[in-house]
Amino acid sequence: MCVSQAATVMPLFSRSRSDALREVHKYSGPEPMQDAKVNPNVYDHVHMKLFRAQRNLYISGFSLFLWLIMRRVVTLLNQAAVTLESSAGLQAQMESAVKAAKQNQEDNLRLKQALLDEENSLSAKNQQLKQEVEKLAGQLKTAKEAVNKSDAEVEAMKRQAKGLAHEYDRLLTEHHQLQNLQSSEDKKDQ
C-alpha cells in the first residue's frame, strides 16, 4: 500500500471509529425508565441501538487493527521482494565467483602438471647427460691411457731410433775403418 492510499484510508477508520464511540456513549447513558413503562419496546430498542453501536465500535477497531497488520504485511512483502532480488544478484555473483575459482583451480592443476612433466623431462635429460658424461669420461680415460701408451711407445721408439742411430754411426765408423784398412792392405799388396 502506498503512502497516499494510507493517508486516505486512515481518516475513514478514524471517522467510523469516532462515530461508533459517539453512538456507544449516547446509548450507554442513563436509561429513560419512564418511557420504558409507557412503551416497553423502548427499552429493547435502546439496548438494540447500544448493541449495534458496540458492534460497530468492535468492527471498526478490528478493521483498524487488520489495516495495520495488512500494512505491515505489505511492507514486509516489499522488503522480501527487494531482498529476493538482491539475493538473486548475489547468487549470480557467487556462481560466477565459484566458476572463476574452479577455472583458476583447473589452471593451477594444469600448470602444476606441466611443471611436474617438465621437471621429470629435465630430470630424465639430466640423467641422460650424466650417463653421457660418465661415458665420455670413460672414453677420455681410455683415450688418455692410449695417449700415454702411445707416448711411451714413441719414447721407446725414439730411444730405439737413437740407439739404432748410435749403432749405425758405430757401424759406419767401423765400416770406414775396415775400408781404410782394406784399402791400405790393397795398397800394400799392390
pLDDT per position as a tens digit, 71-97:
999 999 999 999 999 998 899 999 999
User: Which residues are CB-contacts of 60 (< 8 A; sequence separation ≥ 6)?
Assistant: 13, 16, 17, 20
Q: Report how far residue 56's alpha carbon sits from residue 50's, in angstroms, rounded to the nearest whole number.
A: 10
Q: What is the pTM of this model?
A: 0.41
User: Please, are residues 1 and 70 in contact by the beta-carbon 8 Å criterion?
Assistant: yes
- At 102-153, the pLDDT tens digits run 999 999 999 999 999 999 999 999 999 999 999 999 999 999 999 999 999 9
Distance of CA 40 to the CA centre of its chain: 91
